Amino acid sequence: MNRNRLSILAVLTMLLTPTTGALALVIHVPAEEPTIQAGIDAAVDGDTVLIADGVYTGTGNRDLEFTGKAILVSSQNGPEATVIDCQGTPSDWHRAFHFNKGERESSVVQGLGIRGGYFTYDFGGGILCEGSSPTITECILEDNVAYHGGGIYCADTSMALIVGNLFLNNTALGT
């Protein structure tokens, strides 16, 4: 092959080969995905799951797991407008988020109201971090109950970045 053909072949190969540096997406809940967990599941590293105003309850909107992804889960208009109501009770335990797959500071929860988490004999009524260090910022954690860490509990080697949050009426039942 001559040099011109090799150059053309190289350019075509570069243009047609998929790259790993794909553009980040914004996944809208509930417009594009019906639940917060469905949005998280559809996301890949670098994506944003943007949650519209409303109160989110039930399966798929509580007991949420990032599964190790470096994504942003955020409200559209702040924690007063977008609330995860875990609807936990002494006999039906639920929390908003459980980080346990080695998430780091690039796994971010931002601007959500988190209420009604309840774990009588466990840790982290609102959010539990186990061996993970996510970023939790600009949230309101209210009326969550757990044995330890009514609002947020960080266990094992967790060093979560918890900044600019408001904690209201959370209860730790343990001593």
Domain assignment present for 3? no
Q: Which residue has the higher pLDDT, 78 or 22?
A: 78
Domain assignment present for 35? yes
Looking at residue 30, its pLDDT comes to: 98
Range of the domain at 34: 23-172
Domain assignment present for 81? yes
Count the domains in the chain.
1
Tens-digit pLDDT profile for residues 40-56:
999 999 999 999 999 99
Domain assignment present for 44? yes
CB burial of residue 62 (10 Å; 0-12, 13-18, 19+): buried
For residue 26, give the H/E element and its range: strand 26-29
Q: Output the six-digit token pair for 139.
A: 């949230």
Domain assignment present for 91? yes
Rg (the chain; Cα; Å)? 20
Tens-digit pLDDT profile for residues 115-125:
999 998 899 99
Domain assignment present for 7? no
Domain assignment present for 16? no
Domain assignment present for 150? yes
CA atoms within 13 A on the CB side of 38: 13
How much is the mean pLDDT over the chain? 90
DSSP 46-57: T-EEEEPSEEE-
